[in-house]
Amino acid sequence: MNPLDAYWMPFTMNRAFKAAPRMISRARGHYYTTDDGRELLDGFSGLWTSGLGHCHPKIVAAVQGQVAELDYAMSFQVGHPKVFELANRLTAMAPAGFTQCFFTNSGSEAADTALKIALAYHRACGEGQRTRLIGRERGYHGVNFGGMSVGGIPANRKVFSAALLPGVDHIRHTHSLPDMAFSRGQPSWGAHLADDLERLCALHDGSNIAALIVEPVAGSTGILVPPIGYLQRLRELCDRHGILLIFDEVITAFGRVGAPFAAERFGVTPDIITTAKGITNGVMPMGAVLVRDAIYQALMQRPAHTVELFHGYTYSGHPLAAAAALSTLEVYAEEHTFATARALEPAFEEALHALRDAPHVVDIRNFGLMGGVELAPRAGAPGARGYEVFLKCFEAGVVIRNGGDVLQFSPFLNATPDELAQIFTTVRQALATTA
């Protein structure tokens, strides 16, 4: 029996992996070490998670100290100081008007929590008919039933089609190769695509819609950057129809787009923001849902002896995650990480777009330190070319990610020019030898 058999790996080709494993046994700074002692440059910052690099000494020390002091405290009706401190820090970083923070253990749970808060809010406001949830084609909001239903990645939905939430609709996605291929940063074409929300408001009547959830920059589907003016237009339409706007910032928060939140970078303030990943630099599982004050206050009108929101997790605000998050936020501030990331953007954009003349490349897109290189699919085998490039880069000492035929890049927020050069030279060589 293969000793790897028992572990059913997530979003992985299990049989292919177990036949030829890629095993990481250590990580430090910008490098992984494989079980056979090879050093790999991490070109994906974990899984969009670890922008500061791996095993940051300050975060490691914070978690080690915490586990010896308070390993766990009951999370319902009992609290511990660090999670309150963390909520204060996060709301202070958030756009004005955000006063509340609800903790989860993942981005998927954050998405479902946000949707539930939206439904509870409308009901508390006497608008219980607002039950419809709107997502966007190609969106990714995790794998739980709520996030999967508002999500728009066909492969993630297909098998579960009959079990998806009822009353969910999707606006169209923002991608159009003929109109925006090789845009640098935000495409100038496409703001009008936001008006698709009007179509759904006309169809269902806007007064029945609770919330619209979008990623400000769509990540998992292969880096779709919002056209100039698009997010502003979504905000206007949500305001017009009384719909809550949720930004899923699981990837974009904490420096990935050179700011604490994409909301700040784009100058568009949603009503709810979901986060995870970079909140602890990937060190502990944690998600956080940031909520505007008016939403919280609406839910606080019930008698004081009642639970206001019947929702929560055993591990909401876990002490180890809270300690990791607090020290992560401190490091972001001390090392000026968001400004460093912002300053790296031009070099990243140059290096990424230099692949334009490489074989198979049909589009390149970027925003902040998120980059996508779309390859023409191999005839009859979509995704095979992207996977092959991923494998070749791994063999050559650089970890990137492929989502189908889109190569994805998420360098460290403090990556060096040499590291960027190594990543893109390796990708170019892999493309050159891929049929």
Ligand X SMILES: Cc1ncc(COP(=O)(O)O)c(C=O)c1O
**Binding site residues, ligand X, CB under 6 A:** 106-108, 111, 140-142, 215, 219-220, 248, 250-251, 276
For the bound state, the minimum distance from the C-beta of residue 97 to ligand X, rounded and expressed in Å, comes to 22
For the bound state, the minimum distance from the C-beta of residue 187 to ligand X, rounded and expressed in Å, comes to 20
For the bound state, the minimum distance from the C-beta of residue 54 to ligand X, rounded and expressed in Å, comes to 18
| 206 versus 285: smaller Cβ distance to ligand X | 285
Q: Which of 280, 369, 269 is nearest to 332 (CA)?
A: 280
CA 14 to chain centre: 24
For the bound state, the minimum distance from the C-beta of residue 47 to ligand X, rounded and expressed in Å, comes to 7
| 108 versus 434: smaller Cβ distance to ligand X | 108
Q: How far apart are CA 201 and CA 184, in angstroms?
A: 32
For the bound state, the minimum distance from the C-beta of residue 257 to ligand X, rounded and expressed in Å, comes to 13
| 142 versus 278: smaller Cβ distance to ligand X | 142
| 86 versus 430: smaller Cβ distance to ligand X | 86
For the bound state, the minimum distance from the C-beta of residue 162 to ligand X, rounded and expressed in Å, comes to 23
| 208 versus 221: smaller Cβ distance to ligand X | 221
For 63, phi then psi, to 5°, come to -70, -40
- DSSP characters over 260-322: S-HHHHHT---SEEEE-GGGTTTSS--EEEEEEHHHHHHHTTS-TTS-S-----TTTT-HHHH
| 91 versus 105: smaller Cβ distance to ligand X | 105
| 91 versus 221: smaller Cβ distance to ligand X | 221
| 142 versus 206: smaller Cβ distance to ligand X | 142
| 249 versus 361: smaller Cβ distance to ligand X | 249
| 248 versus 405: smaller Cβ distance to ligand X | 248
For the bound state, the minimum distance from the C-beta of residue 408 to ligand X, rounded and expressed in Å, comes to 11
Q: Which residue is nearest to ligand X (CB)?
A: 107
What is the 3-class SS of the chain, one letter each residue?
CCCCCCCCCCCCCHHHHHHCCCCEEEEEECEEEECCCCEEEECCHHHHCCCCCECCHHHHHHHHHHHHHCCCCCCCCCCCHHHHHHHHHHHHHCCCCEEEEEEECCHHHHHHHHHHHHHHHHHHCCCCCCCEEEEECCCCCCCCHHHHHHCCCHHHHHCCHHHCCCCEEEECCCCCHHHHCCCCCCCCCCHHHHHHHHHHHHHHCHHHEEEEEECCCECCCCCECCCCCHHHHHHHHHHHHCCEEEEECCCCCCCCCCCCCHHHHHCCCCCEEEECHHHCCCCCCCEEEEEEHHHHHHHCCCCCCCCCCCCCCCCCCCHHHHHHHHHHHHHHHHCCHHHHHHHHHHHHHHHHHHHHHCCCEEEEEEECCEEEEEECCECCECCHHHHHHHHHHHHCCEECEEECCEEEECCCCCCCHHHHHHHHHHHHHHHHCCC
For the bound state, the minimum distance from the C-beta of residue 353 to ligand X, rounded and expressed in Å, comes to 23
For the bound state, the minimum distance from the C-beta of residue 220 to ligand X, rounded and expressed in Å, comes to 5
For the bound state, the minimum distance from the C-beta of residue 415 to ligand X, rounded and expressed in Å, comes to 20
For the bound state, the minimum distance from the C-beta of residue 299 to ligand X, rounded and expressed in Å, comes to 23
CA 75 to chain centre: 25
Beta bridge partners of 224: 218
| 11 versus 182: smaller Cβ distance to ligand X | 11
